[in-house]
Amino acid sequence: MAHESRAVSVLLNPPGYLLSYLWNGLKQAQGTTPEISSAAGSAVLWMEGVGLERLAADFPFVEFPELQLAYERGDAKEFPVVDGS
C-alpha cells in the first residue's frame, strides 16, 4: 500500500505478518504481529502520517532505529566518508 511519500508492505510470515514502514522509499520501521487487526491498524496510522514514536506507542511490535527517528525529526547529522587509503 502506498500514498504520496509513505508506503507499507505486509508479508505473511507464519505465524503472523511482517510489516515494513517506508517513507520516501526508505524503510523507517518494521515489526511482526500475529494479529491482522494490528497489522491493518498500524498500516492505517502510518499512511495517515503519524510519526514513529506514536506508531510504536500505539503498536508496540513496531521497532525503529534511533537514526530513523533523527531523520524524522530533522536533526540527523551527515558525516563525510573518510577514505583510509
Match 511519500 to its residue by C-alpha cell.
5
pLDDT value at position 72? 77
Asked whether residue 77 is domain-assigned, the answer is no
pLDDT value at position 71? 73
DSSP lists the bridge partners of residue 9 as: 20
Asked whether residue 83 is domain-assigned, the answer is no
Asked whether residue 32 is domain-assigned, the answer is yes
pLDDT value at position 80? 61
Q: How many domains does the chain fold into?
A: 1
Q: What is the DSSP string of 29-65?
A: EEEEES-HHHHHHHHHHHHHT--HHHHHHHSTTEE--
Per-residue pLDDT of 29-39, as tens digits, reads: 999 999 999 99
Q: Is the pLDDT of residue 18 over 90?
A: yes
Domain that holds residue 17: 6-66
Asked whether residue 72 is domain-assigned, the answer is no
